[in-house]
Amino acid sequence: MTYEITGLPNPVHYIRDFKRFQEILSVLVRHGFGHLVMELKHSDSALGRLISSFRFAGLDEGKTSLITVAERIRLVFQDLGPTFIKLGQILSTRPDLASDEIMIELQHLQDNVPAFAFPEARNLIEVELGKKLEDAFASFDVTPLGTASIGQVYAAQLHQGTDVVIKVQRPGVRSLIESDISLMLMVARQLENRIPELRAIDPVGIIEQFQRAVSRELDYTNEMRNARRFKAAFEENPRVVVPAAYPEFSTRLVFTMQRIRGVRITESASLGIDPRKLADVAIDSVLTMVFEHGFFHADPHPGNIYALEGGKIAFLDLGMVGHLDEGLRFRLADLIVALVENDIDAAARALQAMGIHDEPINRALFNVNVSEIMHKIIGIPISEICLSEIIQDLFNGARRHKIKIPPDCYLMGKALLTVESVARNLNPDMNIETAITPHLKRLMIMRNTPARVGKLLWRRLSEAADIMGDLPEQASEILALMQHSKLTLRVETVEHGSTMMQVERLIGKIIAAIIVAALVLSSAMFITFSKIDYLIMGVPAQLVLGVAGYLVAALLGVHMVRQVIRQTDRS
């Protein structure tokens, strides 16, 4: 049943399920959040009038006062089912969106949902694959291996004899989640209007981020692509196994992959494998994902890392992944090097470069806060430091200064924290510096290769050329505006002649600076890419000409600096 609600911030909102909306509000009241419901109820809107028509059971204040707010939030999410459980699980990995207390509590959320009947699963598989179950699989175990809020997993065998597992999406879960998210957005907008203090938390933004994340997770083709990409990335690593995906038996609602037989990495001793060696493989694999591939498993907990015969590990459940572009990886490397070297200024610069800030930053105060966090590790051997925990603390500190760290950086911090905890559990003597140093060195070498530097210089030169190329057209537009008396200039000056002289000098300096920059860039490009088979006094011609360009640029630069100094002295 659909109900139209008007009078909200956006023109029209829909409550797709009247009973579901009432259920959500009832659960909030039951767990001690009746004051939020009352805020909505007393709002002067159609939503407030709708809530006024509901009847809620009385709130047992004595019962809710015995548990914390974080525990009550977890109970709300638990009682409301798949959408809210998934939201809670995502919030438990996002220190930028939830407090430490709430994050820890939400990590205890469980998918306590009953399995749906096999005939429903069979029907969905046959509709999605377009063939009978017997035609697709040689055998199929009707008892699910596992059940979760979004779907459940079955074991089967392909006709060629390969053992596989099949994820089948829970019937109706997509429409339920879409309905719940529309309700969340509606309530979040209304709460922001009624309680201005909530705007700093940005509940609407949180729900919209969640909407994007869960939409990707509901489409199993995303997980299939992730699995294939991870498998290609670790193809040449004999210690890491990624289950093969089978696109011909996969759709948006059904995902078929190779079955991995092993045990949780924390139970590796049962296979007679040295857990310390597996700790090294696990931490090295995740560091490789982060620093070299820029594409990482966002939830590498023990249930998602299996130990296999022969001392190998396998990564499972690739639905939640994170991405770091090249620039973020370089900044992360700078941050870690600064932490290892206890360089507070360098750490603050790297941290600021990783984020986005709309307002000016109080650098002195920011550096003090970074210093306070880093003082926790000064004098402590790096082998005893939980590096990922310090990184998370720094990210949280940046957030307090209105620096917006990209969400995937938080995912990366949580992934490193999780795998570091797993590795230390397997090997208490693990040295994180020994594990991470080779990855940082490779990243730094890649950062400074002549090919990459040349490519970067070429890109900047191309951008400068584009700007110069646009100047004539822009100048023509300005002249056209002047001809039609449509260009307005506001000049506030007393000494017109003096001002014009200053403008002329400034233009001259800008032109000279452009010439110097062009000489530096072209000389670098000439040295890097030019292939002239000619020697000048035994030295390659491109090197001589490139150095000559640098010298001319240096002389011009010195001349410009002297002029600036003279002008400053006169002033």
The model's pLDDT over 157-192, given as tens digits with 9 standing for 90+, comes to: 999 999 999 999 999 999 889 888 988 888 788 777
Look up tokens 């809107």; give the residue. Answer: 45
More confident residue, 373 or 111: 373
Q: For residue range 381-395, what is the model confidence (pLDDT) as tens digits?
A: 766 778 888 888 898
More confident residue, 102 or 460: 102
**Mean pLDDT confidence for 91-111:** 79
Residues 6 or more apart in contact with residue 29 via CB below 8 angstroms: 37, 56, 57, 59
**Mean pLDDT confidence for 294-311:** 92
Residue 106 pLDDT greater than 70, yes or no: yes
Q: Distance between CA 516 and CA 367 in Å, rounded?
A: 35
CB 323 within 8 A of CB 294: yes
Q: Distance between CA 64 and CA 66 in Å, rounded?
A: 5
CB 414 within 8 A of CB 298: yes
Of 313, 298, 289, give the one whose Cα is nearest residue 232. Answer: 289
Instruction: Say what percent of the chain tops pLDDT 90.
Output: 32
Residue 61 pLDDT greater than 60, yes or no: no
Beta bridge partners of 322: 296
Q: How many other CB atoms sit within 10 Å of the CB of residue 361? A: 16
More confident residue, 325 or 564: 325
Residue 488 pLDDT greater than 80, yes or no: no
Of 255, 251, 258, give the one whose Cα is nearest residue 161. Answer: 258
Residue 322 pLDDT greater than 70, yes or no: yes
Residue 493 pLDDT greater than 60, yes or no: no
Residue 3 pLDDT greater than 50, yes or no: no
Report helix, strand or coil for 442. Answer: helix
- Catalogue all structural domains in the chain, each as residue range(s) with its CATH number: 3-111+179-212 (no CATH), 117-170+219-259 (3.30.200.20), 265-448 (no CATH), 450-570 (no CATH)
Model pLDDT, residue 4: 41
Catalytic one among 299, 317, 334, 408? 299
Residue 299 bears catalytic tag: yes
- 413 burial class (0-12, 13-18, 19+ CB within 10 angstroms)? buried
Residue 374: how many CA atoms within 13 Å on its side-chain side?
21
**Mean pLDDT confidence for 339-362:** 87
Model pLDDT, residue 187: 78
**First and final C-alpha spacing in the chain:** 77
Report helix, strand or coil for 158. Answer: coil
Q: Which tokens is 534 given?
A: 């000619």
Q: Which of 61-65, 189-193, 207-211, 485-489 has the lowest mean pLDDT?
A: 61-65
Q: Which tokens is 428 given?
A: 């208490």
- 302 burial class (0-12, 13-18, 19+ CB within 10 angstroms)? buried
- 310 burial class (0-12, 13-18, 19+ CB within 10 angstroms)? exposed
Residue 74 pLDDT greater than 70, yes or no: yes
Backbone angles phi, psi at 134, to 5 degrees: -65, -30
Beta bridge partners of 171: none
Report residue 116's pLDDT band, with 50, 70 and 90 as the boundaries. very high
**Mean pLDDT confidence for 262-272:** 91
Model pLDDT, residue 100: 79
Mean pLDDT computed over every residue of the chain: 80
Q: Residue 194: in which H helix or E strand, if any? A: helix 173-194
Residue 88 pLDDT greater than 80, yes or no: yes
Beta bridge partners of 257: 165, 245
**Mean pLDDT confidence for 48-69:** 61
Q: For residue range 355-380, what is the model confidence (pLDDT) as tens digits?
A: 888 778 888 898 899 999 888 887 77
In this structure, what DSSP letter does residue 290 have? I
Q: Distance between CA 6 and CA 108 in Å, rounded?
A: 38
In this structure, what DSSP letter does residue 361 have? -
Handedness of CA 20, 22, 28, 32 (dihedral sign): negative
Residues 6 or more apart in contact with residue 459 via CB below 8 angstroms: none
**Mean pLDDT confidence for 217-241:** 94
Q: Which tokens is 147 given?
A: 């059940």
Residue 411 pLDDT greater than 90, yes or no: no
CB 116 within 8 A of CB 171: yes
Q: Which tokens is 296 given?
A: 């990482």
Look up tokens 């089967």; give the residue. Answer: 156
Most confident of 292-296, 489-493, 525-529: 292-296
In this structure, what DSSP letter does residue 12 have? E
Model pLDDT, residue 11: 35
Cα 258 → chain centroid: 28
Residue 57: how many CA atoms within 13 Å on its side-chain side?
9
Q: For residue range 516-553, what is the model confidence (pLDDT) as tens digits?
A: 666 666 665 555 555 555 556 665 656 666 667 667 76
Q: Which tokens is 185 given?
A: 């957005």
Q: What share of the chain is helix, strand, coil (3-state, %, to 5)?
A: 60, 10, 30
Q: For residue range 119-149, what is the model confidence (pLDDT) as tens digits?
A: 999 999 999 999 999 999 999 999 999 888 8
CB 426 within 8 A of CB 268: yes
Position 4, amino acid: E
Model pLDDT, residue 316: 93
DSSP string, 24-70: HHHHHHHTT-HHHHHHHHTSSSHHHHHHHT---PPP-HHHHTTS-HH
